[in-house]
Amino acid sequence: MLLSPRHTYFFLIAVLIGALTLAAGCASESEAAPADPGGGSGPGNLTYYTEQLPPYNYMENGTLQGLSVDLLEAITGKMGGNVSKEDIHLVPWSEGYQTALTRNATVLFSTARTPEREQSFKWVGPIYSDRYVLFAPRDRAVTVADPEDLKGHRIGVIANDSAVRQLLDAGVNQSGIVEENNISALIALLENGEIDLWCYPETGGRYFAEQATGNAYTYEVVYTLQEVGICYAFNRDVPDSTVQSFQQALDTVRNQKDEQGVSDYERIIYRNLGVGCAQQTFTDEEVIALVNTTAMGIEKNATDTFRRINAGEAPYRDPEDPGLYAFVYNTNVTMVAHADNIRLVGTNLTGRTDVAGKPFRDEIRDGALENGTGWVEYVYVNPGQANLYYKTTYYRLTTGSDGNSYVVCSGNFKRCEV
């Protein structure tokens, strides 16, 4: 039947209204259920593999736990994926490694990100930084000054661990490397004298030493091979968008602070690892000298010195060792200059604490007002290593060229004492 022009007009209007209504309905559904950013490979669609590697990931009393497990839950929670411990498969390292290499939609952790593995996976991290070391029984007086001293020693490693490549690169012959599938076997070989050295990440090695002998320091570190970032390793076929979403979520967990000034990442590290100590690369005397130099600059020209500090210029941030830098509070505990993190400038930090609950910035201000100079110890994240360490900050009260009082600071991470 043919429609009159008038009927045709109303018919087209009805079709248009219907189309707009349908489009509105689709938009509402889209808003209620956002598209998976991973294109079908979001956190809930991936398969996760891990191994028995305390304190990162391990089974204890029937429950999977550890730093990397807790962090994965926090990351996927930020992404809306809600991956839980029950979704993670605990398998031998070799099995998990081969699966993540060959099967799509798989993730392996905790994985050392090394040059030889770089192109084999896509990476999210670092979760943490650790150094591969060589352990030896203290009563055997083993001395290793350089890689040449490793020749002739029998060295135990976990099969397919990155330690194998590190040892080969250091000049160790393949015949001198003894591979086992679990730590218990390696420790037994070390105790029986069937191997001379045991190569493993230091943090995990200390844990296993305590489990086996009751003392985390039964074995001494006789040589350090390499410091590596510990990461989540994704199969190469996982979409880049998914990997990027994971990295963004990790960065949020690490950098987003609560009202106390502490991030979820810091709380996870503190709960699983406690607080470590670091290898100092500069001295406390250099810290004091930097504070004194900065104070003199503020006394002469406060405005220009603050500008140079915030720009990260030398001498306020050491170009050869960026961990040595200056920062300045006013007496209200507002950051007025920071050579390493300009985002803190202008922030009032009164009452903010470290992860252990210590209001260290208030203590710095109070100590400066009462004593003029001094030191305060607290817990802090090392930005270069993503770990929690004890830090000691030296402070000095000074009067700027503008007539205002300022507290000038610089700090150093506390050295380990065994």
Tens digits of residue pLDDT in 176-232: 999 998 889 999 999 999 999 999 988 888 888 988 999 888 999 999 998 889 999
- β-strands 88-90, 47-50 pairing: parallel
Percent of the chain with pLDDT over 90: 66
Residue from 334, 408, 400 nearest 374 by CA: 408
pLDDT > 50? residue 86? yes
Output the pTM of the full model: 0.73
The rounded distance, in Å, linking the Cα atoms of 305 and 87 is 53
Helix locations, 149-262, DSSP H: 162-169, 183-192, 202-213, 240-255
Mean pLDDT confidence for 248-267: 93
Strand, coil or helix: 196: coil
Contact assessment for residue 381 and residue 373, using Cβ atoms and an 8 Å cutoff: no
Range among 32-41, 164-173, 299-308 rated most confident: 299-308
Helix, coil or strand: residue 2: coil
Enclosing H/E stretch for 132 = strand 122-137
Cβ neighbors of 240 (< 8 A, separation 6 or more) are 122
Q: pLDDT by residue (tens digit) across 11-37? A: 333 333 333 333 333 333 323 333 333
Write the CB contacts of 276 (distance below 8 Å, at least 6 apart in sequence).
203, 387, 388, 389, 390, 416
Average confidence (pLDDT) over 241-268: 94
- Judged against a pLDDT cut of 70, whether residue 4 lies above it is answered with no
Q: Which two three-digit tokens encode residue 403?
A: 């007539």
Question: Does the pLDDT at position 5 exceed 80?
Answer: no
| Buried/exposed code over 241-251 (b: 16+ C-beta within 10 A; e: otherwise) | ebbebbbebbe
Tokens 């900065």 appear where? 294
Neighbours of 166 (CB within 10 A): 19
Can you list the domains of the chain with their CATH numbers? 43-127+230-273 (3.40.190.10), 130-227 (3.40.190.10), 284-413 (3.30.450.20)
Name, in order, each residue with C-beta under 8 angstroms of 121's C-beta and a sequence gap of 6 or more.
100, 101, 108, 111, 233, 234, 235, 236
